[in-house]
Amino acid sequence: MHRVIEACAYAARKHLHQRRKGVAGEPYVNHVIDVALRVSRSTAADDDLLIAALLHDVIEDTDGTAEEIESLFGPDVAQVVLEVTDDKSIPKAARKAAQEAEVKHKSARAKRIKLADKASNLTALAESPPLHWDHDRALAYVDWAERVIAGARALDPDLEAAFDASLALARRSLVAKG
């Protein structure tokens, strides 16, 4: 339990000055906590999976490194975080295509984080949409998230049901606004 709280504090420090893109401008750390909370509802959740969920965006979005994560939280956590980290050196469209193509080859732990991450993002899109996104961009994100998660199905009924609920919420929100 101590390591999970330590990871939460580490994530909060790393994401300290980041905000979500939504109209509410929430602190970014709220997202990683939400992802970890969602993952915690899986029957397969353990401390390392929760820690990886809390740290899933550290390498991608901060100055944190895989080496630092491994030193603080162990090689298993670092490996899962690396699995869910996008390569920001390639163009955005290529990164999105890679997520769709590669998710089916990820470990079960990485897939669980992807399920929770996309569910969190869809809920945020419905409740606090990004200011600069028009209806078509939001709809494209929803459709893309659904395609990504298609490769993570038949793994965790609880996380899949939560993803499906967030997907339905996002679609309802877009219909209401649209």
Contact assessment for residue 142 and residue 120, using Cβ atoms and an 8 Å cutoff: no
Residue 61 annotated to the active site: yes
What DSSP state is assigned to residue 104? G
Catalytic residue among 6, 60, 76, 86: 60
Catalytic residue among 6, 26, 47, 61: 61
The single residue listed with the structure tokens 């869910």 is 84
Contact assessment for residue 82 and residue 106, using Cβ atoms and an 8 Å cutoff: no
3-state secondary structure of 23: coil
Residue 67 annotated to the active site: no
Q: Which helix (H) or strand (E) holds 31?
A: helix 29-40
The single residue listed with the structure tokens 């899949």 is 160
User: Which tokens sit at 87?
Assistant: 């390569």
Contact assessment for residue 59 and residue 66, using Cβ atoms and an 8 Å cutoff: yes
Catalytic annotation, residues:
60-61
